[in-house]
């Protein structure tokens, strides 16, 4: 067992970071043509299908995937994959129903909603989204710091801070285009890291890949569907439909990758294709958990939370060079989520929350620097708080599930069904009713957490309808 750090590991990590900064620099060069705001936040509507597709995967596959999904399979089974099957239907609906309503109609999805409302409603929905996004991504930031702290023998808080500083500086270099280009490289790196783990774990265990997987399968560790009791699978699939519509259809972090595409056709192809790649990535990392579980049935299991098992195995058992590659993979997964969030939230601050800002080039760039710094600092604080929690994968998802239904309800109520306007009262009512619904589901009915979005969406729509009837002096816009 070897936890020493070799110069080759440092070199691999250094080359990765240097490459990211170089790519961000060249990708982020401004063309000085067209609208600077659109170029900063929508890449001048220049994204190709591969850029939209791979940046979606990179953004959704955070360090929670790299470390949290193996931890889930290590402790349970493959039931997490159910929501990925639901995502196929969800993303088809995004392409068919939601995307045409927002494409080429504004810088952010909340700007589009505001065409059916007023400024106060626009600010309210952007603030609610920003708070929820910061909480969810702060958890992901912490999870990505686990391996960095383990590998370099750092305090977890220092590891979080280092990742934030690195991401802050390269995100500043060049807006969405730079973020997307670097995300593409980082996606391929963390997928490659997952494939390497499939090779290394059997090598270290001295049992073949098929032996380890067969043993896990025999012990029911790879199951995701039971024909004798199919209801959990059905619940998971249906839960994934609305959950994915909320995260990928109304979350500015993902929507901007679609609305920045050169054409709506390209955006539709990207969002539909991403659902199938997501299944591959999910299975890739779930099976890492199976390999680790089988290995530790033959040797003593370290006294660690499941979230830290894979990081520990990499640090103490992976050979020189491969160890550095895996750390780079986790950094890639973490930074690709973090940079996307920073850019998305800064676009909300500029366009929705403080939308009366000046449009002069120098001030826009100053706003971007300041907003990026503030967002990074707040995300770092949330990651510090998350350091006190266990079960990161489900914790991160459940944070989102508490308000995702309300966010989706506001979008459908204002932009699709058009029975309510985007006003402060309507937004607050949707979130109040939605959170109450999730509270009832969680603590009173005690149903599966996958129902949170359905409860939140249904009662969120009801809350908007009642608010519109009670407070409105006009009909919907």
DSSP structure string for 135-169: HHHHHHHHHHHHHHHHHHT--HHHHHHHHHHHHHH
DSSP structure string for 213-254: HHHHHHTTTT----TTS-HHHHHHHHHHHHHHHHHHHS-HHH
pLDDT tens for each residue of 211-239: 999 999 999 999 998 888 899 899 889 98
- Residue 30, classified by CB atoms within 10 Å of its CB into exposed (0-12), middle (13-18) or buried (19+), is middle
For residue 396, pLDDT beyond 80: no
Identify the residue with better confidence: 333 or 379.
379
> What share of the chain in percent tops pLDDT 70?
92
What per-residue confidence (pLDDT) applies to 275? 95
Q: Are the CB atoms for 156 and 387 separated by under 8 Å?
A: yes
- Using CA atoms, how far apart are residues 246 and 462, in angstroms rounded to an integer? 17
Q: Which residue, chain included where needed, has tokens 């995004």?
A: 94
423: tokens are: 């006003």
- Whole-prediction pTM value? 0.89
Taking residues 385-399, what's their average pLDDT? Answer: 62
Element housing 445 (H / E): none
Which residue spans within 162-221 are E strands per DSSP? none
CA 276 to chain centre: 16
Taking residues 179-204, what's their average pLDDT? Answer: 91
Lowest mean pLDDT among 140-154, 255-269, 287-301: 140-154
Q: For the chain, give the mean pLDDT.
A: 88
Q: How many CB atoms are closer than 10 A to CB 157? A: 15
For residue 276, pLDDT beyond 70: yes
Report angle CA 147, 343, 457 to the nearest 5 degrees.
90
pLDDT tens for each residue of 92-133: 999 999 999 999 998 999 999 999 899 999 999 999 999 989
109: tokens are: 């999805």
Helix axis angle for 175-205 and 264-295, nearest 10°, is 30
235: tokens are: 């619940």
Give just the sign of the alpha carbon dihedral 257, 259, 262, 266.
positive
- Using CA atoms, how far apart are residues 247 and 98, in angstroms rounded to an integer? 12
Instruction: Give, as one character, the DSSP assignment of residue 116.
Output: G
φ and ψ at residue 4, rounded to 5 degrees: -75, 155
* Exposure string over 344-369, b if 16+ CB within 10 A, otherwise e: bbbbbbbbbbebeeeeeeeebeebbe
- Using CA atoms, how far apart are residues 156 and 314, in angstroms rounded to an integer? 17
pLDDT tens for each residue of 445-464: 988 888 899 999 999 999 99
Domains of the chain, start order? 7-394 (1.20.1730.10)
For residue 427, pLDDT beyond 60: yes
- Using CA atoms, how far apart are residues 296 and 310, in angstroms rounded to an integer? 11
For residue 323, pLDDT beyond 60: yes
CA 130 to chain centre: 14
Taking residues 416-422, what's their average pLDDT? Answer: 95
pLDDT tens for each residue of 17-53: 999 888 888 876 554 455 667 877 888 899 999 999 9
Query: Model confidence at 330, in pLDDT bands (50, 70, 90)?
Result: confident
CA 255 to chain centre: 12
Half-sphere exposure of 288 (CA within 13 A, CB side): 30
Query: Model confidence at 477, in pLDDT bands (50, 70, 90)?
Result: very low
Q: Print the SS3 string covering 304-357.
A: CCHHHHHHHHHHHHCCCCHHHHHHHHHHHHHHHHHHHHHHHHHHHHHHHHCCCC
Q: Are the CB atoms for 393 and 66 separated by under 8 Å?
A: no
């Amino acid at each position: 067992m070897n936890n020493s750090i070799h110069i080759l590991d440092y070199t691999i990590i250094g080359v990765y970071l240097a490459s990211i900064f170089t790519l961000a620099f060249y990708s982020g060069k401004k063309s000085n043509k067209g609208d600077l705001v659109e170029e900063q936040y929508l890449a001048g509507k220049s994204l190709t299908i591969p850029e939209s597709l791979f940046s979606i995967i990179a953004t959704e596959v955070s360090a929670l995937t790299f470390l949290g999904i193996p931890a889930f399979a290590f402790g349970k089974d493959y039931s997490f994959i159910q929501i990925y099957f639901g995502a196929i239907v969800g993303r088809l609906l995004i392409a068919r129903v939601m995307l045409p309503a927002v494409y080429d109609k504004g810088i952010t999805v909340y700007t589009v909603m505001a065409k059916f409302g007023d400024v106060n409603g626009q600010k309210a929905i952007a603030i609610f989204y920003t708070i929820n996004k910061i909480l969810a991504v702060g958890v992901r930031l912490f999870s990505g710091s686990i391996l960095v702290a383990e590998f370099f023998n750092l305090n977890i808080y220092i590891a979080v801070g280092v990742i934030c500083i690195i991401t802050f500086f390269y995100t500043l270099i060049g807006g969405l285009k730079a973020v997307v280009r670097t995300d593409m490289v980082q996606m391929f790196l963390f997928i490659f890291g997952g494939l390497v783990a499939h090779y290394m774990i059997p090598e270290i265990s001295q049992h073949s890949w098929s032996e380890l997987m067969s043993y896990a399968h025999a012990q029911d560790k790879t199951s995701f569907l039971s024909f004798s009791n199919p209801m959990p699978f059905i619940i998971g699939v249906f839960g994934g439909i609305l959950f994915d519509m909320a995260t990928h259809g109304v979350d500015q972090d993902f929507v901007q990758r679609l609305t920045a595409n050169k054409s709506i056709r390209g955006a539709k192809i990207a969002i539909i294709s991403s659902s199938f790649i997501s299944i591959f990535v999910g299975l890739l990392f779930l099976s890492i958990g199976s390999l680790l579980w089988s290995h530790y049935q033959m040797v003593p299991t370290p006294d660690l939370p499941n979230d830290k098992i894979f990081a520990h195995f990499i640090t103490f058992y992976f050979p020189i060079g491969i160890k550095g590659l895996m750390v780079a993979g986790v950094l890639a997964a973490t930074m690709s989520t973090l940079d996307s969030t920073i850019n998305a939230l800064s676009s909300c601050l500029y366009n929705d929350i403080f939308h009366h800002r000046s449009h002069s080039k120098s001030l826009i760039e100053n706003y971007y620097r300041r907003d990026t710094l503030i967002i990074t600092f707040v995300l770092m604080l949330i990651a510090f708080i998350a350091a006190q929690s266990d079960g990161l994968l489900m914790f991160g998802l459940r944070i989102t599930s508490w308000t995702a239904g309300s966010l989706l309800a506001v979008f459908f109520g204002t932009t699709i069904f058009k029975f309510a306007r985007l006003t402060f009262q309507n937004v607050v009512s949707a979130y109040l009713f939605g959170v109450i619904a999730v509270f009832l589901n969680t603590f009173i009915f005690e149903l599966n957490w996958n129902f949170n979005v359905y409860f939140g969406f249904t009662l969120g729509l009801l809350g908007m309808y009642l608010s519109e009837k009670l407070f409105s002096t006009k009909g919907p816009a």
